[in-house]
Structure 1
Amino acid sequence: MADPESRSVLKLTLASASVVWYAVLWSVGIIGCVAARKRYRLRPRSPLASAPASAVPGVSILRPLKGLDTNLYENLESTFTQEYANYEIFFCVDDEDDQALTVVRDLMAKYPNVTAHIAIRNGATVGVNPKVNNLMTAYHQAAHDILWVLDSNVMVDPGTLARSVDILNPPPNAPHPPRRRIGVVHHVPYAWVTKHTLGSRVEEAFLNTNHAKMYIAINTVAVDSCVVGKSCLYRKSDLERVDGSLKPIPNADAGGFQPGERGLAAFGRFLAEDNMIASALWHELGLRHDLSCDVAKNAVGNMSLMDYIARRIRWVRVRKRMVLAATLVEPLTESVLVGCLASLGLRYLLGIPPWLFLPVHFLVWLFVDMDVFASLAGHPVPASMRWQFLSAWAARELMALPIWFMAIVGSEVEWRGKRYEVMQNGEVKKASDGRGGVTGWLLRWGRKNTDYYEPLETRQ
């Protein structure tokens, strides 16, 4: 048994470490909050928005579709109304009977001056990822080098494309050119609720506060790739040089490329292909990423609480296989656990009682999160919805650690009604016929739908 002096040293070390980590985490949170204020509270119009087609780079917009997602008509219409003179749209489906095509054809008739195509997969398979399989036909047919891959449940503002191309392809006389060429321009997900269920409210509170704060902070510090691919722009010519191995290409600056299979097809083996594409461009080509001042408005429909939990478990399990160290540290970035640890450390070091520290901790944490929400939304949480939002925020904070524990012990996930086993580096394979044990039963119980989004009636 350790002597009293050794125990005292250990307590002092742990207490000091908890307070230092608390300060570090708050520094990251403040970076995210301040960066959100600077980036999202002013969204200037790009000069490219009024430039003729001959003066701007061409862009091919790829939208993978599967059925009638929430707000589908308005989501897809937002790509037809971009303030940009040189782009085409591909609507990608598995087969010609997909219900989404009714909406697509209505919009193509409404906007005949926009170049739009329907790209049908027709059975082509390059991997287990259904989104990648869905995109392959359009990927091969795209007329332009710049690709904008935009999920079906995302709506964007009219100026988003022009502002994004400004960053991806800056003019020669740009006032602050990046030190490294930008390989990916992405947009922070911003949830807006169309059906006020508990799960959708918790998802909204998570995406628009803590997730956005950390996402923006990590991309501001930019020590490594961190991309959620709801809305991403990158160059096809860059993607054709990488394979997802994350091994640096020795002569990348001279046009070097990886041997073997490259391009979008090489990422069909990953479930989080968006993150892996961004990581490959970062690590293999040495390119960097940047956020525009726009958000990817993610319409959340009739999501139950179990839908929300299943969604979070899925992505923790995927991240565990891709970035294990960051995933293991994740609980120490949450307000409840880090607040409790810091309160114990401060009581030991300074004699501050937890009953005094913790209320201040949660109030300040909430204030910062609400400020991030206001930056992304352009307004504070409406007064009529404030208590519902605060309740959802509190529920999210309290559930974070239990969800992490459920996620960390398994490797199977369910996505779009299919089950996968996540393997090393985020690759996936079809799961066996088992039902995932007790955790799988808990996740299936109480869920409204496997896609997490409420279908819309087809418009006439």
Structure 2
Amino acid sequence: MENWFARYGLTILATFIICGWIFVWFMHLLALFHGKRSLHKKVDHDSLKESPLPGVSIIKPLVGIDQNLFSNMESFFLLNYPKFEVLFCVQDEKDAAIIYVNRLLEKYPKVDARLFIGGIKVGVNPKINNMQPAYVGSKYELVLISDAGIKMEEDTLLDMVHSMKDDVALVHQMPFVCDRKGFPAVLEKVYFGTAHARIYLSADFLRINCPTGMSALMRKKLLDDVGGIAAFGQYLAEDFFFARSFTDRGWKLRISSQPAWQNSYTADIETFQNRITRWAKLRIAMIPHMILLEPLSECFVLGAMASWAISYLSQIDPFAVYLFHILLWFLLDYTLLLIIQKSNLPFSKIDFVIAWLLRELFALVLFARALWEPDIHWRAGTYKLKWGGIAEEVKSKL
């Protein structure tokens, strides 16, 4: 047995690594193709408005304020859509966001908008609890859940409804970010335009459950059939389970041609890294095999393994392979970012190089932190995740 492994084991391992390496390059190309094909499509919105359009209830959960919140919320009052309502949700009656909401209600009295304060506890998920009164009070057949940090273009809602075909239950927007100043904003744009976009776009093309809940348009009746959003209050990653509920019943998911323009103020890199770590914890709990697959698919780790495997089978210089791997990965990421941005980048190529290197170098560190500290600190609570994504709140000790 030992002789067999010495003779064939490493060859099989090297072959397996190269197959995985090729598959990751396939994902790169798939993301480029799907991004070019699906994003920023030209749609004749005037012709869309000539036919009857369904009403949309927009639910906006709010907590706290930042310097971009007012303009983000105001963009929903300026939507070019014939029939919609905006339902703001605030858990705490002392939340400063209430002042902004009231200003907008006074500024745009003709827009159908309401404020719900207090929430209803239906589970451990604070976002679901906050949105529950607005969901119960919503009156239209389509529901758009949109996070506080999202800024909309005038035609975004038309674009999303256009994608809601008869066999589609959920239309989601690929997360991206607005142009903002400061290096933390550069790092966010590079992350969402490269590593995150590659997985998101390729998964969407392969019809794998990938929607995020920051901007998702859904059929309310299909949610009501399973108990409304309250039925998902036991999960922190409610967006994943919304989508799975639809696909399990044979419905389809579609991506909007416009990305979700995140426009929250990012004060520092640590805040951004904490957010990425929290998402990693959710993925680990919901999809346990990601514990192995995710770190092995990172650029530097995969490149090192592929360099060894190729040199073992072909005697090619592993250092040359490694340099080729990193350079090609870098160029494909930059190309993907340009496709998603569809305009000049608001930072220099040097800024991109630095942000890209930081993202790749810290990826394993953040993933290790997610494994080492599995509890999730989100909003005002701390939560423990069980396998399958079910969450329970951790009570603080007095």
**Same-fold call, TM > 0.5?**
yes
Cα distance, 1:432 vs. partner?
4.3
Determine if contact 1:370/1:380 at 8 Å carries over to the other structure.
Answer: no
Aligned partner of 1:43 in structure 2 is: 42
Deviation for aligned residue 1:386: 2.3
Counterpart CA distance in 2 for 1:278 and 1:47 is: 30
Q: Distance in 2 between matches of 1:332 and 1:33?
A: 21
Asked whether the equivalents of residues 69 and 264 of structure 2 are also in contact (C-alpha less than 8 Å), the reply is no
- 2:288 & 2:364 partners in 1: Cα distance? 16
**TM score, norm. by length of structure 1:** 0.82
1:34 positional shift: 1.1
Q: In structure 2, which of residues 64, 73, 76 is the aligned counterpart of residue 76 of structure 1?
A: 73
Question: What is the aligned partner in structure 2 of residue 234 from structure 1?
Answer: 218
Structure 2 distance, partners of 1:343, 1:287, is 42
Determine the C-alpha separation between the residues in 1 that align with 2:144 and 2:209. Answer: 18
In 2, the alpha carbon distance for the partners of 1:48 and 1:166 equals 11
Q: Note the alpha carbon deviations across 1:112-132, whole angstroms, 9 max, x for none.
A: 2221111223x5211111111
Q: Distance in 2 between matches of 1:80 and 1:51?
A: 21
Same amino acid, percent of matched pairs:
29
Are 1:8 and 2:4 an aligned pair? no
Q: 1:404-438 CA distances to partner (integer Å, 9 max, x unpaired)?
A: 12212442011114211112321212224379xxx
Tell me the secondary structure at the aligned position of residue 258 of structure 2: strand
Tell me the SS of whatever aligns to 1:147: strand
- C-alpha offsets along residues 66-121 of structure 1, whole Å, 9 cap, x if unaligned? 12134111211221121210111111111443211222222223322221111223
Of the candidates 153, 167, 182, which is equivalent to residue 168 of structure 2?
182
1:90 is aligned, of 87, 92, 113, to: 87
Find out whether 1:274 has 2:239 as its counterpart. Answer: yes
Q: Would you say the 8 A contact 2:87–2:116 is kept in 1?
A: yes
Report how many aligned residue pairs link the two structures. Answer: 398
Contact 1:193 1:301 in 2 (8 A): no
Judge conservation of contact 1:69–1:152 (CA < 8 Å) in 2: no
| 1:424 aligns with one of 363, 378, 387 | 387
The farther-off stretch of 80-89 and 399-408 is: 399-408
CA displacement, residues 29-49 of structure 1 (integer Å, 9 cap, x when unaligned): 110111111122433243465
**2:158 is matched with which residue?**
162
Q: Is 1:304 paired with 2:288? A: no
What residue in structure 2 maps to residue 177 of structure 1?
A: none
Instruction: Check whether the contact 2:377–2:383 (CA below 8 A) recurs between aligned residues.
Output: yes
| Cα distance in 1 for residues equivalent to 2:359 and 2:233 | 32
**Cα distance in 1, alignment partners of residues 344 and 165 from structure 2:** 33
How far apart, CA to CA, are the structure 2 residues paired with 1:57 and 1:48? 15
- Indicate the SS of the match to 2:11: helix
Query: 1:362/1:58 Cα in 2 relative to 1: closer, same or farther (>3 Å)?
Result: same
Quote how far apart the aligned CAs of 1:220 are: 0.7
Of 369, 376, 382, which aligns to 1:413?
376
Q: Aligned equivalents of 2:395 and 2:359: distance in 1?
A: 31
Asked if 1:214 is matched to 2:199, the reply is yes
Q: Which residue of 2 aligns with 1:265?
A: 230
Task: Determine the C-alpha separation between the residues in 2 that align with 1:379 and 1:351.
Answer: 43
Cα distance, 1:61–1:41 mapped onto 2, change above 3 Å: closer
Structure 2: distance between partners of 1:403 and 1:124: 34
Aligned partners of 2:66 and 2:264 also within 8 Å = no
Helix, strand or coil: the match of 2:64?
coil
CA distance in 2, matches of 1:335, 1:374: 19
C-alpha contact (below 8 Å) 1:63/1:149 kept by paired residues = yes
Distance 1:390 1:322, change over 3 A: same
Deviations 1:335-392 (A, max 9, x none): 111111111111111222122122221121111111221122112434x432122201
1:350 equivalent in alignment to 2:336: no
Which of residues 139, 145, 148 is equivalent to 2:141? 145
1:316–1:407 Cα contact (<8 Å) kept: yes
Q: Show structure 1 runs of 5+ residues with no match.
A: 171-180, 243-261, 436-460
**Alpha-carbon distance in structure 1 between the residues aligned to 2:102 and 2:395:** 39
Alignment counterpart, residue 305 of structure 2, candidates 327, 334, 341:
341
Deviation at 1:188, TM superposition (A): 0.5
For structure 2, list consecutive stretches of 5 or more residues without a partner in the other structure. none
